[in-house]
Amino acid sequence: MNGAGIIKGLVETARNFAGSYHDRERLTTVQYPEETLPPVENARTLPFLVYDGGDAMAGLRCTACMICEKECPPQCIYIIKDQARKPDYMGKMQLQPKVFDIDMSVCMSCGICVEVCPFDAIKMDQVFELSTDDRFAGLLFDNEKLARPNEYFRQLHKTEASEVDARREEEKRKAAAKAAAKPPLPGGVK
Amino acid sequence: MSARFSPPELAGTDFEHPLLEVSLGPHHPSTHGVFRMDAALDGETVVKLKPVFGYLHRNHEKIAEKCSYLGSMPFTDRLDYMCSLTNNWGYALAVEKLTGLAVPERAEYIRVILGELTRLINHSAVVGFLLQDMGAMGTPLMYAFREREKILDLFESLTGARMMCNYMRFGGCRCDLPPGWIGQARGVAAKFPLFLDEFEALLTGNEILKARTEGVGVLTPELAVNAGVTGPMLRASGVNYDIRKVDAYGVYGRMDFRVPLGERGDVFDRYMIRILEMRESLKILDQALRDIPDGPILNLNAKLRNLRPKPGEAYGRIEGPKGELGFYLISDGGPNPYRYRVRPPSLINLTVLEDMCLGQTIADAVVILGSVDIVLGEVDR
Amino acid sequence: MSGADQIFVWIGHEAAGWAPAPAQPLVSAILAIAGIMAVFGACFALTTVAERKILGRMQNRFGPNRVGPYGLFQPLADGVKMLTKEDIVPFSADKTLHFLAPLVLTVPVWLAFAVLPFGRNMSALDLDCGVLFFFAIGSASELAVFMAGWSSQNKYSLVGAMRAIAQMISYEVPLVLSTVPVLMLAGSLSLNGIVAAQGSHTIGGLARWNVFTPWGLAGLLLFLIAATAESNRSPFDLPEGESEIIAGYLTEYSGFKYALFFLGEYLGLFAVTGLAVTLFLGGWHAPFQWLEWAPSWLWFGAKFSVLIFLFIWARATLPRLRLDQLLNFSWRFLAPLSLINLAVAAAWHWTGAWESAAAAPVRWLLCAALIALPAHWLGRALRGRLPPPRKYRYAE
C-alpha cells in the first residue's frame, strides 16, 4: 500500500507517546538537580590527594617524586619539593611537596597520574559541580584544596581503597614481623 | 578567504547566467562539527562544491611528538570523539606492532566487546543525525540516544568515563571488568535488537525517507576504491573490504559474522548498511560475551612509563565504525615518537563529497554529507 | 439545549444590553471580536506549550516543565523573551515592506475567524458565502511571505520566499477542490448551512457527519494534507526550517516581528482546522444523538484539539520533503484526486436511494472503491517505475 511506511512510523511514535506515561523505559529523563543518578564506583572526573590520619598536610601520602607531573599529558600539575622530610606509613623518611597545584581547567581527567603514582597518593574524585566565576584562580587547586582523607577515598572507590589499605597493612605487618624476628644487637643498640 | 569560482563559458549567449555561490558556513544548523561547504549553484543544482575544513585543527600529531607514548593515549580519545575506544585500540595496535608486545587473550576479548559496543553507539548516532538533517525533528535521534546512554553507562562502570575512555594500554587493557559487568552487557545486548526493530519500523519503510535518499549521492565502486574510501561507505557501494576479515586482528578470526554489502551506493544503501552492521555487531557481542576467558589483562612485560621502542616504524589499523583508522608511528629509540600520523577515515571519505553531490540539489548535499559520517575531530585532528 | 450551550451568546446579549440602542450592533460585534481574539490568543499560547510537550513525550523526554505547573507558563516566558529582543532591520532593507509584512500576515488570518461557527448560534458573522470569504482571505496572507522575502534584500530570504510561494500556491488547489464536494452536497456556501446539513442522524443515532462518507473521508485527508502544507508545517516545512537557507524568509526578522510571524502561522493553522471541523466533522454537532446534551462549543473544541494533535503527531514522525517532491505530490497526486473526489461525491448523491440497511454497505464500498483505486494508481504513477526492491547480500 502507498502510505504504509508512514503509518507504521506514526504507530511507532504513538506507542512511545502512550508509553511515556507509564513505562520508565520510554521516559528516561532524570530531573537534575532534584534527582541524581546513582554514583558509579569507577567513575572519574578530577584528581585529589589522599592523606591518612587527621592532619591533612602532615598525613599526605605524596612524596613529591614528580612522576605524575612528568607523565601528565596536558602538563597541568605543578610541584615544588619541600626539603623537610616526614615519615610515611612504614616509618621511612620521605620528601613532601611544598607546592602541589593542579589546574583543573586544563586537566583532562585521563587518570594517568593515578596509574603511575607509586605511593597511592593521588586518586580520582567524582565531583563535577565546580563552577566558579573566578576565571583563573577559581580552578587552580592547591594542596589544601586537593587533600581528602582516606575515608573519603574508601567511600568513593570501595574496591580500590580496600585493596590499597590491605596492601599497606600487609607491608606494615611484614616489616614489623621482620623487625621482631631480628636478634637484638649486643649492647642494646638497635 | 574562499576562492572565487569562475563562471562557465558564455560562448555567445544572449544573457548572463551567473552561478549562485553559497557558503554553507562553519556555523551550520545541521553540521557535524565546524565544517564549511562552498557550493556554486545553478538554480538549485550543485555545479561545484568545495569542502573547507581545518576549523578544529588541534595539533594532535605534533603534540604526540612531545608527549610520551602513554601520554598520547588520552589524546586519541579526542580524535573521533564519538568512538573513543576504537581510537585507543588502533593506537595500541600500532605501538604493539612497534614494540612486539603480545596481548593476553582476555584482553583481546575485552577489546572486541568494547569495539563492537562502540560500533553500535556510532551507527545509531549517525542514523539519528542523518534523520535529523532530513528534518525529522529529532525523534529518531532521541530514540538512538536513549539506547546509546545504556552503552555509555557500561563504559562508565568499566573505564571511568563515558566518552573519553582512555582504556587500552600497550599489551592489554587498563583495568579488569568489575563484577557483574558481563551480565549488564548481556542485558544491553539482549535489548538492542528490539530497539533496532522499532527503529526500522519508524524509518525503513517510510516513503518520505525513501524518496529523499534513494538515488541520491551515488558513489560508484570504482571511484570509491580509487579515492581510498573505506568503511560502511565503501561497502554500501558493493566493494567487499572489511579489515576485520582482511587482517583478522584481535580475535576477530574466531568470530562468526557476515559483512553486508550494498547495491547502488546511494544514501539509502549507506543507511541500510549501518543498520545491518549493527545487527552483525550484536552477533559478535554475543559470541565474545559468551567465550571470554579468565586470565591477565595486561602483558607482564608491558611498561607504563619510559617506553622506548627500538627504532623502526609500524602501521596499525582497525576497522573503525567510520572506516579504516590507521596509526603510523616512526620511532627513533627515544621516549617520544619521531613521527606520529593518523589516517583519518572521515577525511579520506570526504574527498569524494564533490563527486557525489554534483548534479544534486543543495538540499541533497546536506543529506549526502550526513551519510558520509564525518566527525570533525578526526577530519582536522 | 440552552443553559450551558448558549452561555456565551447570553453573556454577549446581556453585555450589549448595557449600551445605548443605536450602538448595540457595534458593541456586540466588538464583544465577539474580543472574545475570539482572547480565546484564540490563549489557544496559541497553549498550543506552543502542548506542541513542545507532546513532541517531547513522543521523543521519550519531558517537554518544558520548569516554568509553572507542567510548564504551562512557558508562553509567558517566551513572550517576555520575544518582546525584549532587539528589533534588527537590515540597513539595505525596504523599511516599509519589512515592517508591514508581519501585519499583512496576521490581520487577514484574524478576519478568517469571523465566519467559523464555534457553537450553536455562535458565529461572529453569518455570511451567505462564508467559504468563499474564508479562502479569499486566507490567500491574501500569502502575500506577506513574499513581502518578507523581498524586503529583506537577502538572497537566501528571496530563495526561501520563492519556494514558500510556490508551495503555498500549489497546495491552494487541493485545499479548495477538496471542499467542493461538501458545498455541492450541502447546497450552500454558508458555514452555518453546512453545519446544519450535517445535523441529522442515521442508524444507531450516528450523526451524518461528512467524514462518515467515502468522499468525506477522502476529502478530509486531502484537506488536512493541504492544510499542513499551507501552514508550512513538517513534513512540508522546507521554507522555514531548512538547514541550508537558515530560516528562509524569516531570516532578517527578530524580536516581536518574528513572534508575529509565528502567531500568524499558528492562527492560520487554527483557522483551517476550524474549517475542517466545520466542513467535514459536523461542526459543533455531537457524534451520537444521545450525546447532544453536552454544550456545542465543547464538541467543537474537542474535535479541534484532536486535529491539532494529529498535526503535532505528523510533525514528530515525518522527515521533510524536498521542494520538487513536494510540488510533484501536490500537482500529480492531490489535485487529480480532489477532482476525482467530486465524481465520487456525485455518485454518492445519485445512489441516495440505497439508504436502506441492506444496500448501504454496498453503496459505501462502491464509492470507496471509486476513490481508492485512482488513489492507488496515481500513487504508483507518482513514484514512477520503481527499481526492484533492494537485496543486501553478504560477502562470502
Assess if residue C10 is contained within a domain: no
- Is B38 a residue whose pLDDT tops 50? yes
Assess if residue C390 is contained within a domain: no
Q: What percent of chain B has pLDDT over 70?
A: 94
Distances (CA, A) of B202 to B9, B192, B198, B209: 47, 15, 6, 10
Interface pTM, i.e. ipTM: 0.85
Report which DSSP code applies to A103.
Answer: E
Taking an 8 Å cut-off on Cβ atoms, the answer to whether A6 and B164 are in contact is no
Is A83 within 8 Å of chain C by CB?
Answer: no
pLDDT band, residue A189 (cuts 50/70/90) = low
Assess if residue C73 is contained within a domain: no
Q: What is the pLDDT of residues B355-368, one digit of tens each?
A: 898 888 888 888 89
Assess if residue C261 is contained within a domain: yes
Q: What is the pLDDT of residues C293-344, one digit of tens each?
A: 888 888 899 999 999 999 999 988 888 888 888 888 899 999 999 999 999 9
Q: What pLDDT does residue B4 have?
A: 41
Q: What pLDDT does residue A187 have?
A: 64
Q: What is the pLDDT of residues A48-95, one digit of tens each?
A: 999 888 888 888 888 888 999 999 999 999 999 888 888 777 778 888
* CA A71/CA B303 separation, integer angstroms: 13
Is A109 within 8 Å of chain B by CB?
Answer: yes
Residue of C nearest to A25 (CA): C60
Is C54 within 8 Å of chain B by CB?
Answer: no
pLDDT band, residue C267 (cuts 50/70/90) = very high
Top CATH class of A47-181 equals: alpha beta
Q: Which of A40, A77, A110 to mutate to test the interface with B (most CBs of B within 10 A)?
A: A110
Q: What pLDDT does residue C230 have?
A: 87
Q: What pLDDT does residue C305 have?
A: 94
Angstroms from C21 CA to nearest CA on chain B: 55
- Residue corresponding to grid cell 568513593: A156
Q: What percent of chain C has pLDDT over 90?
A: 24
* CA B349/CA B355 separation, integer angstroms: 11
| Rg over CA atoms, chain C | 23
| Higher local confidence (pLDDT), C391 or C219 | C219
pLDDT band, residue C355 (cuts 50/70/90) = low
Residues C36-46: what's their mean pLDDT?
92
Assess if residue C259 is contained within a domain: yes
Three cell numbers, residue A115? 596509574
CB contacts under 8 A, B 245-304 vs A, are: 304
Assess if residue C395 is contained within a domain: no
Full domain range(s) for residue C266: 93-379
Three cell numbers, residue C336? 487529480
Q: Which chains touch B (3 or more CB pairs under 8 A)?
A: A, C
Domain count, chain C: 1
- Is B3 a residue whose pLDDT tops 50? no
Nearest to A112 among B70, B207, B209 (CB): B70
Q: What is the pLDDT of residues B270-302, one digit of tens each?
A: 999 999 999 999 999 999 999 999 999 898 888
Residues C232-248: what's their mean pLDDT?
70
Question: Model-level pTM?
Answer: 0.88
Assess if residue C106 is contained within a domain: yes
| Higher local confidence (pLDDT), B25 or C31 | C31
**Would you kindly state where each structural domain of chain A is located, as residue ranges?**
47-181
Q: Which amino acid is at C37?
A: M
* CA A100/CA A123 separation, integer angstroms: 14
Q: What pLDDT does residue C143 have?
A: 86
pLDDT band, residue C247 (cuts 50/70/90) = low
Mean pLDDT, chain A, as a whole number? 86
* CA C191/CA C117 separation, integer angstroms: 7
- Is B306 a residue whose pLDDT tops 90? no
Q: What pLDDT does residue B343 have?
A: 94
Q: What pLDDT does residue C271 have?
A: 93
* CA B30/CA B34 separation, integer angstroms: 10
pLDDT band, residue C46 (cuts 50/70/90) = very high
Give the bridge partners for B261, in sequence order. C393
